[in-house]
Amino acid sequence: MPRKTKETPEIENEAKKKVVKKAESKEKTSSKKTATTKESTTAKKVAEKKETKKATAKSSSTKKTSKKEPLKSTTTKATAENKTSRKKAVSTKKETAKKATTKASAKKLTTKKTSKNMDIVEYYDLPYRYNQTIVKILAQTPTTLFIYWDISDEDRENYKKQFGENFFETTKPVLKIFNDTMNYNFEIEINDFANSWYLHIADSKCDYRVELGRRPIYNPADIGGTDYVYISSSNEIEAPNDKILIDKVQNMVYFRNVKTNQLTGRSFASLSLLRNMGKIYNIYDLYKELYKDENLYNPSSKFF
């Protein structure tokens, strides 16, 4: 689609842009548009640069950031960033709003510096983490699970107290996957650079849950002789079904009248249901064969 979207400028430029706009509207000059477009084109470039940097840093720094003092939340981060941006915003304001009445600008600069600017400058970034111990699983497809996790700083400290200062250096993270429908489990080794994982599973339409734990890398003696430390368990989900359950056809087929709630069971054989059902499902087989190269799912997919 050749549609273009407005770029998302990073904080400093966003701040500048808005202040410029504000100042100008006060002055009621006609140069509004040229000024803002200029700003936003520079913003574009900066934003692009910054974003690529961030992306690369992110993938390799999970461990680092988690070890450092974590950002408590968006707000702490946002306010910190807002502060710097406000400074810049104020200085640009000084430059651009020269023509504006001195009264107005002075007032803004002195009294409304801290709280009032919040509704002018709005910039958010997603927090890197929420500092909670958590494992969550989702089904991406009938045979792929998506798993994400984190361990809170408090819990990290507790593990260190319990198993030694080097607990996280001498152990590696593992995921235990439990198939509770077919009653089996298996384990995979992950690494501390990741905070999420896609996992192939063999059996669709089964209940799954995942456990996050750690195992010693070299010697169980490093962590007091145990060879597995439990960290946390996930929610339980059912992976979707991916086939016609023809082999599960029962002797009775149940029909419900949704108005009266009356339930009627009919024997499969007596109604020649099986024959008709076969005919109907032949239609789908024919389809599969005829259109096997086409994606029959929603290709129009929205407006954009």
Partner 1 sequence: MQDKKGYVSFVLHAHLPFIHHPESDDYLEETWLFEAISETYIPLLLNFQKLVEEKVDFRITMSMTPPLLSMLDNKLLQRKYIKYLKRLIELSKKEIERTKYDERLNKLSHYYYDRYSNDLHVFKDIYNCNIIQGFKHFQDIGVLEIITCGATHGYFPILYVNEKTVKAQIAVGVQTYERYFGRKPRGIWLPECGYVPEADKYLKEFGIEYIITETHGILYADPTPVYGTFAPIVSPEGVIAFGRDLESSRQVWSSINGYPGDFNYREFYRDIGYEADYDYIKPYIAHNGVRVHTGIKYYRITGKTEFKDYYNVQWAKDSAEKQAGHFLDSRNAQIDNVSQYMPNPPLILCPYDAELYGHWWYEGPYWLYILFKKVYYDDCNFKLITPSEYIDKYPEMQVASPCRSSWGANGYSEVWLNPTNDYAHRHLHVAGDRMCELASLFPNAKGLKKKALNQCARELLLAQSSDWLFIITNGTMVDYAKKRIKDHIGRFTKLYYQIKDDKIDEDFLKDISKKDCVFPDIDYMLYY
Shortest distance, CB of residue 290 to partner 1, whole angstroms? 9
Question: Does residue 91 interact with partner 1 by CB under 8 A?
Answer: no
Q: Are 82 and 118 in contact (CB under 8 A)?
A: yes
Shortest distance, CB of residue 273 to partner 1, whole angstroms? 5
Stretch that binds partner 1, among 68-76, 97-105, 181-189, 213-221 (CB under 8 A): 68-76
Report the residue number, 5 or 183, with the smaller CB distance to partner 1.
5
Question: Does residue 28 interact with partner 1 by CB under 8 A?
Answer: no
Report the residue number, 189 or 246, with the smaller CB distance to partner 1.
246
Q: Are 26 and 104 in contact (CB under 8 A)?
A: yes
Question: Does residue 73 interact with partner 1 by CB under 8 A?
Answer: yes
- In this structure, which long-range contacts are made by residues 250-255, counting pairs with CB atoms below 8 Å and at least 24 apart in sequence? none
Question: Does residue 243 interact with partner 1 by CB under 8 A?
Answer: yes
Structure tokens at 288: 């599969």
User: Rounded distance, CA 150 to CA 232, Å?
Assistant: 9
At how many degrees (to 10) do helices 32-60 and 11-27 cross? 170
Token look-up 């770029």 returns 7
Report the residue number, 218 or 254, with the smaller CB distance to partner 1.
254
Single-letter code of the amino acid located at 83: K
Shortest distance, CB of residue 228 to partner 1, whole angstroms? 26
Q: What is the side-by-side order of every strand in the sheet holding 134-141? A: 134-141, 144-150, 196-200
At how many degrees (to 10) do helices 102-110 and 74-96 cross? 160
Report the residue number, 174 or 273, with the smaller CB distance to partner 1.
273
Sign of CA dihedral 132, 195, 234, 125: positive
Report the residue number, 11 or 229, with the smaller CB distance to partner 1.
11
Question: Does residue 50 interact with partner 1 by CB under 8 A?
Answer: no
- Residue numbers 113-172 binding partner 1 by CB under 8 A: 115-116, 118-119, 122-127, 130, 132, 136, 138-142, 146, 148, 150
Contact string (CB under 8 A) for partner 1, positions 252-271, x = contact: -xxxxxxxx--xx-------
Stretch that binds partner 1, among 102-110, 157-165, 175-183, 287-295 (CB under 8 A): 287-295
User: Rounded distance, CA 46 to CA 17, Å?
Assistant: 14
